[in-house]
Structure 1
Amino acid sequence: MELLNDMALFVEVVKAKGFRGASEATGVPNSTLSRRIGALEKAIGLRLLHRTTRKVELTEAGQIYFERCKRIVDEARLAHEQLGDLLAQPSGVLRASLPVDFTVIYLAPLIAEFAERYPGISFEFDLTPRQVDLISEPFDVAIRMGEPSNSNLIARPLVSLVPRLYAAPRYLKRMGEPEKPADLKRHECLNVQKGGIWTLRKNAQSVQLSIGSRFTINNVGLIRRMATLGMGIMLMPEEVVAEDVAAKRLVRVLPDWHGKPMPVYALTETRLLPAKTQRFIEFLKERLAQA
């Protein structure tokens, strides 16, 4: 790379017919230009320039070397411009594993916006609940909620979601509305784990509750649906239930309290990402931060 830079400086000196003009064109000081060209001559074992007090002239060897350098430098600049275009408009198939309900409810509009911005990218999405193996399976990225379990993967934080308590108005009319966290022990609490523990926070306060339910459900969408049907209270990020809250199918319970923040990560197998994957992760991080 340093040799290519010196070749580019040599071309500028020749085109400007002197170090002063080349210095003005490149912003590199005269003394530095002279030293770099001298080092280039020493490296290739040829005298390239005749130096006088007023101007520089090419030697015979310098003329031949100049033509070759100019071609190499022009090709390098063209390649750099093409690479810039490729990065600006990445293409190819983006294969991603995504959380089902968070994607359908919340990410879908962002994905549509991303697809419009980058028409050269096509998409293959896996929305099954299983944890795909990014090392052995052909996925570019996996979006996951919660702390990553595989330390061999590269985890890039996207956003942190705050779970809050929600229930259907019909449930609260039937069972009454809890006034403090301890009241949840006498309520149906919809949870993804059997015999789960809920950690609730209010400013500096924090309480842990062992909640019980007739339902143990391993699908966020079904928990959400059962809550709208009046079957219990759930702890869920507001981004997932925004539509139900807007439609008044769900209302906040214990509004001063919230659950432990849930991080969302983009997981990749390597730090060296193709442009399509890099742009997708950057886009999600930017847009989720604005939400």
Structure 2
Amino acid sequence: MKWGIDLGGTKIEGIILDEAGTVIDRRRIDTQREGGYAHIVSRIALLVEEMKSATGLVPEHIGVATPGTIDPPTGLMKNSNTVVLNGKALGKDLEAAIGVPLTLANDANCFAVAETLLGGVPAAVPNAKVVFGVILGTGTGGGIVIDGKILGGAQGIGGEWGHMFLDNSGGYCYCGRVGCAEQILSGPAIERYYANLAGTYRTVKEIIPRYRAGEPHAVQAIDRWLHFFAKGIATIINVLDPDVIVLGGGLSNVAELYEKGIPQVVDHLFNPRMDTVFLRPELGDSAGVFGAALL
């Protein structure tokens, strides 16, 4: 059996797969991150106990998808937008709480490997060697998969395009720098930019219909988002040259991303054409937990 846990900012999801990949059990509970670090650890342990009780199964190993990543030299969490996790020995503390060995990986990496092995990549590009998985949602992240395996990197930050410099207009990021891609491409960044233009806060779900209706502030906000998406992802293609890019996160459902954003990518490429294939996600918001189980 393969056990996986996806630790998110608002929910924790668990899954058990048999050797054929069939779901044996799958459930979610609230993260309750406002309770602090120790409470989050206890919530993950509670979810594992619920899964054990429901199935009568006992895990030998669990994969865990985390926001942020483990720093290889220290074993401590870093770069998490659930900031109470940063600087903590999450792997060690979870193993003590649950009592089984764990493998931890960044949630974007888990998304990328799940879509590569279980999602649409095998059917669309069966010989794909390099896949880049993109998260566009509350945050902006990415994961690199080469020959079916996650490339975490020497510092554990492989694929972290959300914190590459994109444009000063993004302003300050929680990471302490200015102009990070996440501060331009994420849902909250779009909402913040729109509010500055219009003087009224609206969610992305409200902004998109206004964009389609031609409202000037919405048009400016979304066209800016599409421009910087193309510019940012072109940098990834110029460096990594992936066979496939899979787009995930809530914003991957916005049709204009495919109709207007992706066609602009070639404007920023070193190559005169774009051969990289862009795919929508097939596993939805559960890709992370499937990827965790594959760890």
TM-score by length of 1: 0.27
Larger radius of gyration: 1
TM-score by length of 2: 0.26
